[in-house]
Structures are given as C-alpha cells and as structure tokens.
Structure 1
Amino acid sequence: MSDIPFSSRLPESVNRMISRFPDPVQDFFWEMISAERSPQTIANYAYDFALFFDFLYSQQLDLEKVTPQVIRHFFRRIENGYERTVQVKVKKKNPHGEIYEEWIERKHRRENSRAGKQRKLASLRSLFRYLVKSHVLSQNPLEEYEDVSLRTRNRTKIPVFLTREEAIRLIDAVAAYGEKHNRHRQMWVEARDRAIIILLLNTGMRVSELINLNLNSFQIDGNQARVIVIGKGGKERVLKLNPIAMHALQDYLALRPKSNIPVEHRDALFVNRNHTRISRKAVSEAIRKYAREANLPPKAASISPHKLRHTLATLLLSNGENLRVVQEILGHSSIHTTQIYTHVINPEKDEALDRLGRLF
C-alpha cells in the first residue's frame, strides 16, 4: 500500500480504504473530490464500497463478473447485519520506551437498517452508472436488480426525542459523571462534552457537521456569536448561538488543550484525548454514557446525536415556531423532511383529545 495519501482532503483511514479499490473505482472518488463533495459523504461511499468489495474478494469476483444475482447475493449476505472491519492508528511503546504509531484492524458488528440498505444501494447505483459512462463496463447490473425488501410499505416512524426535562438531565449528567469518577476527572473533557451536548441541543446540527467545526467557524461580535455550519452538499448555513450555547463554548475554549496537537488537527474545534479531531463515534459514545448517568427512560436512554437534532426540532415546534424557520435551522433541503415533526407536535390533535375528556 502506498504511503502517499489518496487525497490530503480525506482522513488517513479513508485514504487507506480507497487505495484498496480498483483503479476505475478510485477514479470515481476523484470525480467526487472534483465535485467538492463533503469528506463525510466520500467516507460513507468508501465504507459502502469496502463492504461490497470485501464480498467480491471473498467470492473471487472482479467488477466485470458482477451480475444482478451477485448483487442480490451481497444484499442477502448482509440482510441481518454484518461485520465491518476498520483500520485505526494507535500509539504503542517499544521495549526501549519509544512511542510509535501502528495501524490495526478492528471489527464492529453493525445492524442493517432499511435506511442503511437504501444508502448502500444508492452508493452502488452511483458507482455502476459511472463505470458504464466511463466505458469500464458495458452494462449496468443494477438495471435488472430489485430488492423486494425495499418495496415493502414505507412505515412512518415518529422521531425519538427528549423532553425539555430529559434534555436538562442529560446536560447535568456531564458534571454528575465527573464527580462520580473524580479520580480520573479531566475538566477540559468535561467542558468539551457539555459544550457538544448543548451545541447539538441548541443548534440541531448533524454530528458530521459538529465534528468538522473549526476554531474559525465562529463569528463573535460583542455579546453575540454565530456559527458557520457546512451541511450536506457543502451548503453553508449560519446559526446564532444563544447565551447558554455561547457560554458553554467559551468555557470549553478556555480549557481546550493548546499544546501537543498535530499540525493537521490544530484548527479542529473539538479534539479527543489524543489531541486529534474528535470522531462521530466518540461523540455518540459520550452521549450514550451521559444518557445512562442521567437514568433516562428506556426509549430516551438509547439517545444518539441525531436524536438530539430531533429534540431541537420538536422543542421549536412546541414553542410555536414556524415550520419554514425550523427547516432553515436544520438545513433540510425540502420542507417535507421537516414535516415529520408535525406528527409529534399537533396542537389541534391535542385540543381534540382534551375536548373528548369532557365527555366522560
């Protein structure tokens, strides 16, 4: 494997994944980079393709041998979940006490949700369309493929969200957890986690948007602060920080490590204990940890960064905010996506049920 990164725009782990793919597939990623697709979008494609090509290698197949039956076999293989292999760089110490870095493989068991299947199918569609257009393949095997499991009636699920009281308990759990584990307490980590939760709850940004924030993503003018968020498709939106979010951010910045940060991570707003840019996995694990500490109800206990986004939308609509305003805050390209929250907050439905109570 070449030591030269595929692209300096991408994380090293993603570069290593892409370098394993056949040359025509690497060309597909160059097209994505030229189109200025976000690093997170490119990483998602890389993860989906890695799963597919691992399957092809296990069947001793190459791209030219892919048929609708092969694709069907792939999706049936991962129908009930799959094991994803990821490479991570860890620091080790040799017998002489010298620190060195080494890449290791870690395996994670993943569930294959309906949304996950749809994303993998969309990723492969994009790839095979590109390969046909580039005359690498003469025929697109996905044109004759249909996944019956994706034709089932689409169920509208009510978004899982926290109530206002539960959200406050989650924030308070950060300090409670620190006091309980005082022996290993790191105040800057505590301030970071509190700022992350408060930012997610008060801006509704996606976790991918949060981890890509830089120190210069904020505009501070006197007592006002705004954050520039880079959303899907590279679209920017500017969100005002309320005093609670601004103070939480200032508390973290006062304690954020300023030394021993690798050059490529010095601009990162949120860093981990190794002083590199924090990952979405680390953010998710931290939130789950504090949800357990807060002793939230069963449905809320499985809270994730995206469910904090649901929480903001629900609280805004409960407060009587306009649906279009909520759409702009969340960065939804279509208002139909935002309308799912109206299934949760419907004053007329509530009033109808209240009136019914007078009949008994």
Structure 2
Amino acid sequence: MPYRLQFKWAICTGLRRFEICALTIGDLDRSTISCGDGLVQLDLMRKGGRLRSIYVPSDLIDETRWYILMDRPKPKLGADDSVFLSSSGLPMRRGRLTRKFRELADRLGIKCTLHHLRHTFALQVLERLQRHELAGEWLNAIKVVQVLMGHSSIETTEIYLDAMEITSDAVVGALGYLYGASL
C-alpha cells in the first residue's frame, strides 16, 4: 500500500524521492491552508535544505491521512512522525522506494525511473498551463512550473520546454503520419 500512495505523491506533486520519504504527519497537520479549488498548501524542506511550498490535491491529503489511520504499520521507536513506513515500522528509505518502482516497471516492460514521474508532472502541468495562455488567460506557465518543482533557477525549469516541444500534438502527429506512411 505505501508504494502506490508514494507514487501518487510523485505524480501529483512533482516531489523528489527523498522528499516523499521525508513526509511527516506534522507536515500534513500543518496543511490547513486551503488554496481553494481542492488544493492545500504544504511547506516542506526541499532540495538544498530550503523551505518551499507545494500544492497538494486535498483528496491526496485525505487519502494519506486514511492510510496513516488504517494501513500504516506500527512505527518503531523514533519513527512515530514519519508518514511512510516499511513493513518493519521504520521510515521508508528512498532506495527501497526506487527498487519497488523499478521492479514494477520491469514487470510491465517499461523503461523508466521513479524520477520520470517528476518529469511527467512538470510536462503535464506545463502543457495545461500553456493551453490557458493560448486561450488568452494571463499567466507565466514556466514560472508557475518553476515554483511547483522547487527549482531555484528558471534555466533548470526551461529544460522541460524542450521535452514539451517534442511531445507537442504537431510533433506526435507528424511522427504518427510518418509511421503510417511507412506501412
């Protein structure tokens, strides 16, 4: 159970492995700031030891609280505040989470890593925000993604623009046409 929920945290928030494994019950208890439209703001220690806000679907917070109440293993001494525990009651380690994801990907025959969920989050958010921009809604999509990803530099976030261009409908359509024409 904890793996599936941890994978949801990765795909729905863009958090890194160590950030997911470091989630605490205290973090969830402080998540009382509602951003409206079903989002909750959490302030977490991110990469580089910086405190940054993330925005989590309230349903994911509720599902995580349900997991803590019903399915979470009994914590060992000192692990009381950790959200995700191994079956032995110790805090989940990122290596274990990575191995489980790798095992599932291999079983499905998919070549990907857990970090790809973070990339998927970024690309999906960017694509949807760019659609709003094209429809005339003013926002800075790349800046929003930078904040959501916790990047300190916009240049790091701009890497996702390259991937965005490759996965655009025009590129996918062109490659699909080439595939169909080669039959």
TM value normalised by structure 2: 0.74
Q: CA deviation at 1:244?
A: 4.2
Q: CA deviation at 1:227?
A: 2.7
Q: Which residue is 2:4 aligned to?
A: 194
**Equivalent residue for 1:327, pick from 146, 154, 157:** 146
Q: CA deviation at 1:350?
A: 5.1
**Equivalent residue for 1:248, pick from 58, 63, 66:** 63
Are 2:31 and 1:217 equivalent residues in the alignment?
no
**Unpaired segments ≥5 residues, structure 1:** 1-189
Distance change in 2, residues 1:232/1:352 (3 Å): closer
The two structures, once aligned, show a CA RMSD in angstroms of 2.7
Q: Residue deviations 1:32-69, cap 9 Å, x none?
A: xxxxxxxxxxxxxxxxxxxxxxxxxxxxxxxxxxxxxx
Asked if 1 retains the 8 angstrom alpha-carbon contact of 2:72 and 2:84, the reply is no
Q: Which residue is 2:90 aligned to?
A: 276
**Equivalent residue for 1:303, pick from 109, 112, 117:** 112
Q: 1 or 2 for the larger relative contact order (CA 8 Å, sep ≥6)?
A: 2
**Equivalent residue for 1:230, pick from 45, 50, 56:** 45
**Unpaired segments ≥5 residues, structure 2:** 131-140
Where 2:92 maps in the other structure, the secondary structure is coil
Q: CA deviation at 1:278?
A: 0.6
Q: Which residue is 2:13 aligned to?
A: 203
| Residues in 2 aligned to 1:304 and 1:351: alpha-carbon distance in whole angstroms | 27
Q: Which residue is 1:341 aligned to?
A: 160
Q: Which residue is 1:287 aligned to?
A: 101
Where 2:78 maps in the other structure, the secondary structure is helix
Where 1:278 maps in the other structure, the secondary structure is coil
Q: Which residue is 2:133 aligned to?
A: none
Distance change in 2, residues 1:352/1:266 (3 Å): closer
CA radius of gyration, larger in? 1
Q: Which amino acid in structure 2 is aligned with residue 329 of structure 1? A: L
Q: CA deviation at 1:338?
A: 0.8
Distance change in 2, residues 1:256/1:308 (3 Å): same
| Residues in 1 aligned to 2:19 and 2:144: alpha-carbon distance in whole angstroms | 19
Distance change in 2, residues 1:213/1:243 (3 Å): closer
Distance change in 2, residues 1:226/1:256 (3 Å): farther
Q: How many residues align?
A: 160
| Residues in 1 aligned to 2:65 and 2:12: alpha-carbon distance in whole angstroms | 15
Percent of aligned pairs with the same amino acid? 22
